[in-house]
Amino acid sequence: MNTKKFLPLAATAVAAVIALAGCGSSGSSGSSATSMPGMDHGSSSSSPSTPVSTGAHNSADVMFAQMMIPHHAQAVEMSDMILKKQDIPAEVTALATRIKDAQGPEIEKMTGWLQSWGESTQMPTGHSMDGMMGAEDMTKLEAAQGVEAAKLFLTQMIAHHEGAVTMAKTETTDGKDTAAVQLSKDIVSAQETEIKEMQTLLASL
């Protein structure tokens, strides 16, 4: 599944995710370090409320942050959907929790960078992002229940992560801001690890 549809996210939805990010415990991602070493990136750098940026950024850094913010916001939304459902395998809910706890603070961090650079926090119109779910995909996930919901979540999130990895690798190659490039490397490491875990989980269901 290589969904490449773009689902517009209202600024209020992204703002809500940013607000919720402060409520997530950074320790929760760290507590799972034994099973998911790549997930430490959510708390390994400075606090999202005080983002570190060199100030020497380029257009690739701006595009990376502007596109990854709504991409992460959708991953958080998908995780919230699965966490509200009944009869979901514990391994899947644990994964959804880790994704939410890592990506929420990263949204806040990238928003802070854009603001410090004097750039818009909104993605320019006309751009699409690899791995984004369309409205129909999100509706299906919301309606699904039990094991079928878990399977759909894993299938969709694998494609979603693959898209994020592609975007992050572009930033690693083309970016200039030290903190943004480091985050892109952390995203690649963490999400490639999660993709392997999700593939294993999906095969076991």
- CATH code at position 192: 1.20.1260.10
- Measured CA to CA, the distance from residue 57 to residue 72 in angstroms comes to 21
Q: DSSP labels for 39-90? A: GGGGTSSS-TTS----S---HHHHHHHHHHHHHHHHHHHHHHHHHTSSS--H
Does any domain span residue 139?
Answer: yes
- The continuous run of DSSP H or E covering 197 comes out as helix 178-204
Whether the per-residue pLDDT at 203 is higher than 70: the answer is yes
Measure the CA angle with vertex 181, ends 42 and 127; round to 5°: 95
Whether the per-residue pLDDT at 29 is higher than 80: the answer is no
Does any domain span residue 90?
Answer: yes
Provide the pLDDT for residue 155: 98
Total domains in the chain come to 1
- Measured CA to CA, the distance from residue 138 to residue 149 in angstroms comes to 11
- Measured CA to CA, the distance from residue 65 to residue 108 in angstroms comes to 10
Does any domain span residue 6?
Answer: no
Does any domain span residue 86?
Answer: yes
In the DSSP assignment, the letter for residue 124 is P
Does any domain span residue 1?
Answer: no
CB 83 within 8 A of CB 75: no
Range of the domain at 67: 11-47+54-118+127-204
Provide the pLDDT for residue 56: 86
Does any domain span residue 4?
Answer: no
* CA dihedral sign, ordered 80, 86, 90, 92: negative
Instruction: Report helix, strand or coil for 32.
Output: coil
pLDDT, tens only, 38-65: 333 433 333 444 445 556 899 999 999 9
Work out the percent of the chain whose per-residue pLDDT is above 90: 69
Its pTM stands at 0.75
Work out the percent of the chain whose per-residue pLDDT is above 70: 73
Does any domain span residue 111?
Answer: yes
Dihedrals φ, ψ of 176, to 5°?
A: -120, -40
Does any domain span residue 2?
Answer: no
pLDDT, tens only, 74-94: 999 999 999 999 999 999 999
If one compares 196 and 41, the residue with the highest pLDDT of the two is 196
- Measured CA to CA, the distance from residue 57 to residue 77 in angstroms comes to 29
- Measured CA to CA, the distance from residue 153 to residue 197 in angstroms comes to 13
